[in-house]
Amino acid sequence: MADNLLSRLDKVKPTGPGRWIACCPSHKDKSPSLAVRELDDGRTLVHCFAGCSALDVLAAAGLEMDALFPERAIQHGKPERRPFPAADVLRCVAFETLVVTIAAASVIDGTPLNELDRARLMLASGRIQAAIDAAGVGHE
């Protein structure tokens, strides 16, 4: 399972059986700060020592959260459609919407966004779109 993620990272070095360190794709990393570990059951753990979240690391690598988990056949019942509680998703969307609102207010006031602000706005937009896609809400 870790192979897919590792193939998208720079300066990957093994640190032990099922363990690697690499440059984090979520921030400008000059030396490896991302620990990757593959567990016996196929799950992959990631930890950025600079503080990037697993979601940010995966997004920067062009992956989604399911890339960290092995595919398992469902024994009984239907597969879970919402892996995150709705309230948590709404809180995240609300925060990202606040980021978009602040950026929009700056532009309306005639203040151009700097490169960092534009990057954060694009991240917010991507996260909102990911939430919409995960919810299965179509565009009309």
pLDDT in tens, 35-78: 999 998 889 999 999 999 999 999 999 998 888 988 776 666 66
pTM of the complete model: 0.52
> Do residues 2 and 36 lie in contact, with contact meaning Cβ atoms separated by under 8 Å?
yes
Token look-up 């398992």 returns: 72
CB of 65 closer than 8 Å to CB of 55: yes
Whole-number pLDDT of residue 90: 85
**Average pLDDT, rounded, for the chain:** 87
Distance CA 42, CA 57 (A): 19
* pLDDT over 60 (residue 140): no
Task: Walk across the sheet containing 19-23 and list its strands.
Answer: 10-16, 19-23, 34-38, 44-48
Percent of the chain with pLDDT over 70: 89
127 vs 134 pLDDT, higher one: 127
Domain boundaries, the chain: 2-68, 86-135
